[in-house]
Structure formats: structure tokens, C-alpha cells
Structure 1
Amino acid sequence: MPWHWASKDMWLWSVLALVLMVLASGVVNAHATGEQKDRAKKYKGGGTTSNLRNIIIGRCYHYMSLYPDIGDKNCSGIWQELVDAVQRKDPCKIIQEDYKRLALVAAQTIPCHKTLLWSRTNDLVHRYTKATSAFITLEDTFLGFLFNGLTWCGKPLRPGMNFKFCPAWNECDHNSISSFWRMASAAFARASCGIVNVMLNGSADGDIARKESFFRTVEIPNMDPTRVSEVKVWVIDDIQGDDKNSCNSKSLMELKQFIEGYKLKYSCIDNYRPIQALQCTGNPDHAACNQCH
């Protein structure tokens, strides 16, 4: 081979090797920069729940054993849909649309007249649904049961979950947890039919249903007035609390107008007796528990 051809080949190989080295260096530096940025961002909330995958898949199989009518769900597929919804994304830029596929694979039919919504009555409403099968809260649905009480978020530049830091509930408007529960609440409201019951706290300070509550911002706007025949509000006072709101109070009159503005029929009942009976199991000597009806 002539020497000038050999020299030319060596020069080309040298240039190619240099280009590959530059590219490799760029990839390494980009990865390192990504890791630094991931580590640098510290949110106010705790990180992803430990063993999240095992918890979700375990709950999935447990729910199917309790409610076989839901059909055969792909538990591993549901976990993967959650991962795909949040990984490689800014945890403060997760929107409801990111959970669209997760909502589809976890969808279920809600029987008419069974929906029970709530605001500021978390403990009481779930004590009630555990004591009776007459109603279903969001947390009793398949989707709510899977993710209730759990925390998760991804990392903007790398796959997988962030087990160190996640945004707190109010830290940013579109964080991975609040956007999930908005999506789930909207899906629950859209699936509801017949009479929809709502348990509200009559002893709470301020408006009985705060304007920023999911009940007002998500659930009522997503109800179909052609399928929901009535929204029935239960105003429940704490058994040893003050009666700050009742069906004829200003806050409830404003709520009535709000609900009827969505072409939904409204009704209200003070201290729904079955709920008061449940409250009396822990306060049998209270005056409200010694009435003859």
C-alpha cells in the first residue's frame, strides 16, 4: 500500500476516535449533570413510599380477592402505568392527563346510589363505610384502594422513583400526588349515577365546603346531570362539637346554589341518624345519644 494512503487511513481513524471520545465524554457529563440536578432538588415532602411496587401489586391481588366481580386486573401492568406516568418528569409538572392510561386499566363500574363523597370528615366517613356496605367512597374503589396513603414521584432526568424527596401536597400545583387524586376524584364523579351522597362536617370552621375543596373544584363539575338524579348533603356535627353549620345556614345556601348551577338537584339533611348512631358507639352517654326516635 502506498505510504500516502496509509497515512490518510491513519488520519481518518484518528479523527473518528477523537469524535467518539468527545461524544462519550458528553454522554458521561450529561449523565453526571443529571444526577447532580436530581440530587440538588430537595422537596418538602418525604420520598416515594418504601417497597411501593410490592405494596401496590399486593393490594391489587387483595382487592380482587375481596371483590371478584371487578374481573381480572393486570397488577404488574398497573404498576408499570404508574411508573410510566411519572418517571423522567419534573414532579411539580405532573398533570391529570399523565395518569390517563392508569385510570383506564384500573377503571371499574360504580353501582348507582352507592357514591359517598366527603370533605373534612375523613375518619368518620371511612368508619361508616367499613360498618356498612351501603356506600362507596373513592378510597373504597379499586383505584383509591391501591394508592391510598402512599407517596411517589419520579426523577426529572433519570428512570425510576425518587425515594428521598417528593413535593408536599401544597408545594406546587401540579405535583404527582395531588394530580393523581384530582384525576381519581374526577373519574369517580363521572362514574357516579343515581343519588350521590356527601358527608360534610357541620362543626368545622369557615365554609362547610371550601371553595378549593375537591368536592367543589373537581367532583361536582364532573358529574353528569343526566345520570346523577340528586346530590344529597349530610351535615354531620362532631358528637361533642359545636353546631356551626346546618342545612339552613348561609354556607349551605351558597353550596346549594353552587350545586344547582351545574343542573344537579340538591337536598340536605342534618345529622343523618345512622351516622349519629355510629358516633354514639364511642360516646354512649352523650345527650344526643339518649333520644327516642
Structure 2
Amino acid sequence: MTYTERTGRVILVDIAAVVVMMSIIGYPGTGRMMAAGTTTVQRVNYSDAGTDPDLREIFIGRCADFKAGKVNPTVDLNELRMKNCTQLWELFSQAFKYHEACDVNQTMYEEFVNATAITIPANKSNFWDGWGIYDTVHAYAKEGRRAWSLEYTLVGYLINNLKFCGQEDETGFRYDSCPGPDECGFATGCVDAFWAEASVYFAKQAKGHVRVLFDSNREGGAFQNENSYFAQFELNNMRPDAVENVNIYLITMVNQEPGDNCSSSSIQQLTTILTQSGISYTCHDQPRDVLHLLCTDEIESEECLLQKDILESPTDVALPLTTGSASRTRSTIGVGCHAFIVISIYIIHNILHYT
């Protein structure tokens, strides 16, 4: 074997060794372990936007606002003083950071959710199910003054409408794309798993009389037992010793035909579950307090005509009319009395004159 042949063989052996090492430890920048002879793992592109670029700053800012009572003015500020926003951020981010987006489950958020826990007043808990009722629920809650939905607790407000997910390499956050709702499976993945754990916490805090709002025209029925955060994580975690009554509100949007009502099969399924759990309930079709709220935006609709006078401060309109009517009545009575007296005097005068 010539020197050139020996040199070439050594080079080939070195190249082969390098290839084997790279196949074992992974190519630079992939963060993946690959066995010899396997192909590179393809990066999954998800359907939703990636992690918010300023996620930490948004989180800390929201936390500070909530602690100051700027979000829900009915919270106990003394209780909130014990919350450390930086520590809460660390607990939150560690739950999914450096984990692949769909490899996150509910229990990974348990420590964070417990650290954010605050007291929810009795008779204030307001549950909901179905995105069609979302805006109505928050308008009805009135920033916690009328009711508390999960989004007006500390844990719910901190995370509501944020985009976030993790990855195993680089910064631990993934910024190009994240899974959309149920893309990883029901209640699985960075965002969905969080809301599952938060829903359990919210239900366990409920006490007294609580409400649950449904859209009567929800496709598939107002109450749905499958793939429902209310059914799977809230309804099943209400405490019968704490919750006295569940007020079921079936809401029909103005200018729509009513859908499900209190006698519908989906609501009967819900009431059966409540009865079996030992929790009493009442059901309301189109409750007036919610209808009044809906009518503020649809004042001219036929359904709201009866509500119109109420919403336009009837006292301010009626009082001048009532006062005017009373004045006119008094004036009429006065004129009548005067005429009666004049006529009486005239008659008496004539009688005396001719006798």
C-alpha cells in the first residue's frame, strides 16, 4: 500500500468517526438526540401565533395592576400584598419553559396556581361555557363588582389572552408558533393545560349562590359534557358543603330566536349531575338582569321596547309630567269650585229677591 493510499484511508476513517459522533450527539442547534442512521426530527409548525415577545413584562405589569386594585376593585388588598410578582413569574414560566409545546399537562401548573390563590367572596362566582357567551359574561361581571368570573381572579387575569409555549432548546420559549385550542388534545399543551388547572382552583373556591351562563343557541346544546372546561374541571370540583345553589342562566342574544330552555335535554343533563352531587339549582330563561344589559346595545329592538323606558331613567321623565298633571288637576278643581260658588250665590240671591 502506497503512502497516498494509507493517507486516504486514514482520512476516510476520520470522516466516518465524525459522522458517527454527530449522529449520536446531534447536529449543532437542533437540541435533539439522534441515533446513528436516523433522520432529523422535523420541527412542528403550529396553527397559532408564537409566544408574546414581551411575555414577562406583560405578566409583571398585570400582576402589579391587580395588586393595586385596578382590575377588580372588590379584591382584598391586604391579601394581595403577600404576592410577589417576580416569584409568580418564575413559577409560571418554569411550568412550560424548555418543554415541547404539547408535552405540558395540568399538574405542571399546580404550584403556580396555588401561589396565586386569593379569597373569592361568597355569592360572587360566575361560571360560563361556550365562546358565544364570553363577552356577555364579562360585561355582566362588571369588573368583579357584580360577579367574579375566572378572568377577574389574579391567576385568570395574569394569563388571559396571552400567547405562550416552550421548546427544549435555546431560550426555552418558542416564538414562531404555538398550538391553538385543543391542537394538542383536550386540556393538554401549554395554554389549555393551564386553564384546566385554573378552572379546578376556581370551582373549589366557589361558595354560596353561584351562577353559570350559557348561550341558548350554542351549537350542540347549551350544556355540553364533553370537551368542556366547565363540565370536566369546574362542575366536578364544586363542593356541595360550600355551594348552596347553582343559578343556571340561559341567555338568548337580542334579535335571535330562543334555543335551549330550562326543559331542554342538555340542561336536564346538567341538573341531573347537580342533583347527584347534592347541589341544588334554579334555572332561568332569559333572566331580566342580563336582558337589561343586552338591551343597552339594542335599545330599539322589539324585545327591548319594554326595557327602554327603564333604561332611559323613567323617574326623570315621569316626574315633570306627573307634577304638571297634578298642577293642571288642582287648577281645574279650583276653577270648578269658583264657578260653583258663583252659581250658588246667584241662585240664593234670586230666591231672596223673589220671596
Give 1:163's aligned residue: 175
Q: Distance in 1 between matches of 2:157 and 2:209?
A: 22
- Cα root mean square deviation, aligned: 2.5
Segment drifting more, 253-262 vs 97-106: 253-262
Conserved 8 A contact 2:80-2:118: no
Instruction: Tell me the CA shift for residue 206 of structure 1.
Output: 2.4
Q: Verify: 1:260 aligned to 2:257, yes or no.
A: no
Distance 1:84 1:127, change over 3 A: same
Q: Distance in 2 between matches of 1:25 and 1:38?
A: 14
Segment drifting more, 85-94 vs 185-194: 85-94
Instruction: Tell me the CA shift for residue 203 of structure 1.
Output: 2.5
Distance 1:38 1:279, change over 3 A: farther
What amino acid sits opposite 2:295 in the alignment?
C
Conserved 8 A contact 1:78-1:105: yes
Segment drifting more, 243-252 vs 268-277: 243-252
Q: Distance in 2 between matches of 1:280 and 1:132?
A: 21
Instruction: Tell me the CA shift for residue 280 of structure 1.
Output: 0.6
Conserved 8 A contact 2:217-2:259: yes
Conserved 8 A contact 1:38-1:155: no
Instruction: Tell me the CA shift for residue 28 of structure 1.
Output: 7.3
Give 2:98's aligned residue: 88
Instruction: Tell me the CA shift for residue 288 of structure 1.
Output: 2.0
Which one of 134, 140, 162 corresponds to residue 122 of structure 1? Answer: 134
Conserved 8 A contact 1:235-1:246: yes
What amino acid sits opposite 1:256 in the alignment?
T
Secondary structure at the aligned position of 1:290 is classed as helix
Q: Identity, % of aligned pairs?
A: 28
Instruction: Tell me the CA shift for residue 291 of structure 1.
Output: 2.5
Q: Distance in 2 between matches of 1:157 and 1:282?
A: 49
Give 1:62's aligned residue: 65
Segment drifting more, 212-221 vs 157-166: 157-166
Give 1:76's aligned residue: 86
- Give the structure with the higher percent strand: 1
Q: Distance in 1 between matches of 2:129 and 2:171?
A: 36
Q: How does 1:1-293 map to 2 (within 5 A)?
A: 29=26, 32-34=29-31, 40-66=43-69, 67=75, 68-72=77-81, 73-120=83-130, 121-130=133-142, 133-173=145-185, 174-211=188-225, 212-291=227-306
Give 1:3's aligned residue: none
What amino acid sits opposite 1:204 in the alignment?
R
Conserved 8 A contact 1:38-1:157: no
Instruction: Tell me the CA shift for residue 168 of structure 1.
Output: 1.5
Secondary structure at the aligned position of 2:68 is classed as helix
Give 1:5's aligned residue: none
Alpha-carbon displacement from aligned partner over 1:119-168 (angstroms, at most 9, x marks no partner): 12101111111277121000011001101000111112455211112111
RCO greater where, 1 or 2, for CA within 8 Å and sep 6 or more? 1
Q: How many residues align?
A: 272
Distance 1:290 1:69, change over 3 A: farther
Conserved 8 A contact 1:205-1:244: no
Question: For structure 1, which runs of at least 5 residues remain unmatched after alignment?
Answer: 1-20
Alpha-carbon displacement from aligned partner over 1:54-80 (angstroms, at most 9, x marks no partner): 000000000011142442211111111
What amino acid sits opposite 1:172 in the alignment?
C
Q: Distance in 1 between matches of 2:121 and 2:115?
A: 19
Alpha-carbon displacement from aligned partner over 1:167-222 (angstroms, at most 9, x marks no partner): 11121122110000000011000111111101111122321112221111110101
Instruction: Tell me the CA shift for residue 108 of structure 1.
Output: 0.7
Secondary structure at the aligned position of 2:128 is classed as strand
Question: For structure 2, which runs of at least 5 residues remain unmatched after alignment?
Answer: 1-17, 34-39, 70-74, 311-355
Secondary structure at the aligned position of 2:298 is classed as coil
Conserved 8 A contact 2:216-2:252: yes
Secondary structure at the aligned position of 1:99 is classed as helix
Secondary structure at the aligned position of 1:150 is classed as coil
Q: Distance in 2 between matches of 1:82 and 1:208?
A: 33
